[in-house]
Chains A and B, each alone.
Chain A
Amino acid sequence: MADAGALSPETVMRQMKQNGVTDIVWLPDSETNWLFLLMRADPDLRLVGVTREGHACSIAAGLFAGGRKPMMLIQNTGMMESGDSIRGWLMGLKVPIVLMVGYRGYTRHGVNNDTAATYTERFLMAFGIPFYLVENDADADRITIAFKEAEEIKSPVVVLVGDEYHGFNR
């Protein structure tokens, strides 16, 4: 089992279901395998795997245009690579969507050796995208807050998963 101070994949799944997510558009990272197995076992959840994170934006926009409620699951590295797609396909089309973003390099103390972490929050602030940090199960209600905010502002909201290095694998 993941330790009690971690964000468990079951908690993330519960948040997805609670908020009516129908489709996960995603690109795996090294830490999300257990979540992948849970998602794949759920017959009500469609998984759409992409080969580059920016592709997820237009797929999610199409799903939303057709009446579904997609969520994106990617890593911060891919989020930064996806800047123009986030701008054009999600913000431009006013898609209310939550992006769960693995916060690679996050150390809590602000001292890190990974520029992926250095630029993550700066990137989100430059784009004006609201974000919430989730580190463990006690933070999980912030995911629901993110869904509500996305609906209110009709634009993407990011949940940074600061537990990337231990919570999603077993």
Chain B
Amino acid sequence: MMHTADLLKVFAEFRGDAIVISGRGGRHWIELSDTSLDVPLGDPAMGGHSGFGLGLALAQPNKRVILFDSEGDILMSMGQLATIAEQAPANFYHFILDNEVYATTGGQPVPNAKNVDYAMIARGAGYPRAFNFSELDAFSAELPGILKAPGPVFVALKVFPEVENTPIGQRVRWRKRSADKVVRDLRGVLGAG
């Protein structure tokens, strides 16, 4: 298992000028980067981050799009994997943070938490490349090669859960910009409006 904050620090070294949809890693990524190319959306509706990443990658084929999704999102929208594989954006790098639980609702396990092989599912849906990592050393060693080769690629990362148990209304908000402001900023820096 890895700590999300640690693996994001490793990733940050190789990010370059990629668009980063920080997804379930948002609260840690925002400590590392919060530019207009960073897209911390929070959770607009669970299961949709992979679709958002796909749309963005198709719209901006000359920019690498990196997404930190989760296993709970994948389980909710598994069909998205087939759509992504069919569209096959070469600039799309789809990471998932698999903590085996619904962390924001108190840490209840996702269905069949310990036995689902997400990389195998992605491969079965048609992703040409898919990987599993549970140790930081192995992830660090392979990451540069993964990012150099074309996408779409799927990378499943086993991470320690960071369970939240305080009522939603009492949680500290980590986002500095509203989700629609994040989209406006991104469109601005991309020259889209």
Could you tell me if B51 and A58 are in contact, using CB atoms closer than 8 angstroms? yes
Quick check: is A2 within 8 A (CB to CB) of the other chain?
no
Quick check: is A55 within 8 A (CB to CB) of the other chain?
yes
Closest to B185 in A: A65
Across the interface, A94 reaches (CB within 8 A) one of B41, B183, B190, namely B183
Quick check: is A57 within 8 A (CB to CB) of the other chain?
yes
Quick check: is A68 within 8 A (CB to CB) of the other chain?
yes
Quick check: is A50 within 8 A (CB to CB) of the other chain?
yes
Contact A60 B192, CB 8 Å, known A48-B83, A66-B60: no
Could you tell me if A58 and B45 are in contact, using CB atoms closer than 8 angstroms? yes
Q: Please encode chain A, from 26 to 69, with 1 for each CB lying within 8 Å of some chain B CB and 0 for all others.
A: 00000000000000000000101111101111111111111110
Could you tell me if A61 and B59 are in contact, using CB atoms closer than 8 angstroms? no
Could you tell me if B51 and A93 are in contact, using CB atoms closer than 8 angstroms? no
Could you tell me if A50 and B83 are in contact, using CB atoms closer than 8 angstroms? yes
Closest to B80 in A: A55
| B81 CB, min distance to chain A CBs, angstroms | 9
Could you tell me if A57 and B190 are in contact, using CB atoms closer than 8 angstroms? no
| B119 CB, min distance to chain A CBs, angstroms | 20
**Chain B facing A: main interface SS:** helix
Across the interface, A52 reaches (CB within 8 A) one of B59, B77, B190, B193, namely B77
Quick check: is B54 within 8 A (CB to CB) of the other chain?
yes
Stretch at the interface among A82-90, A102-110, A112-120, A156-164: A82-90
Could you tell me if A66 and B55 are in contact, using CB atoms closer than 8 angstroms? yes
Interface size bucket, A side? Answer: 20 to 34
Cα(A140)–Cα(B42), bound, Å: 38
Contact A84 B59, CB 8 Å, known A66-B192, A94-B183: no
| A94 CB, min distance to chain B CBs, angstroms | 4
Quick check: is A70 within 8 A (CB to CB) of the other chain?
yes
Q: Please encode chain B, from 110 to 153, with 1 for each CB lying within 8 Å of some chain A CB and 0 for all others.
A: 00000000000000000000000000000000000000000000
Closest to B63 in A: A66
Could you tell me if A65 and B80 are in contact, using CB atoms closer than 8 angstroms? no
Cα(A48)–Cα(B52), bound, Å: 13
Contact A87 B183, CB 8 Å, known A48-B83, A62-B51: no
Cα(A33)–Cα(B20), bound, Å: 37
Quick check: is A23 within 8 A (CB to CB) of the other chain?
yes
Question: B25 contacts which chain A residues (CB < 8 A)?
Answer: none
Cα(A48)–Cα(B88), bound, Å: 11
Across the interface, B54 reaches (CB within 8 A) one of A54, A62, A84, A95, namely A62
Cα(A85)–Cα(B48), bound, Å: 8
Could you tell me if A93 and B59 are in contact, using CB atoms closer than 8 angstroms? no
Quick check: is B56 within 8 A (CB to CB) of the other chain?
yes
Question: B77 contacts which chain A residues (CB < 8 A)?
Answer: 52, 54-55
Quick check: is A92 within 8 A (CB to CB) of the other chain?
yes
6 A-B interface contacts by CB (under 8 A): A48-B54, A48-B87, A50-B79, A59-B54, A62-B56, A94-B183
For the A-B complex with A49-B86, A51-B79, A68-B59 known, give 7 more contacts whose Cβ atoms are closer than 8 Å.
A48-B83, A52-B77, A61-B183, A85-B47, A88-B43, A88-B44, A89-B45
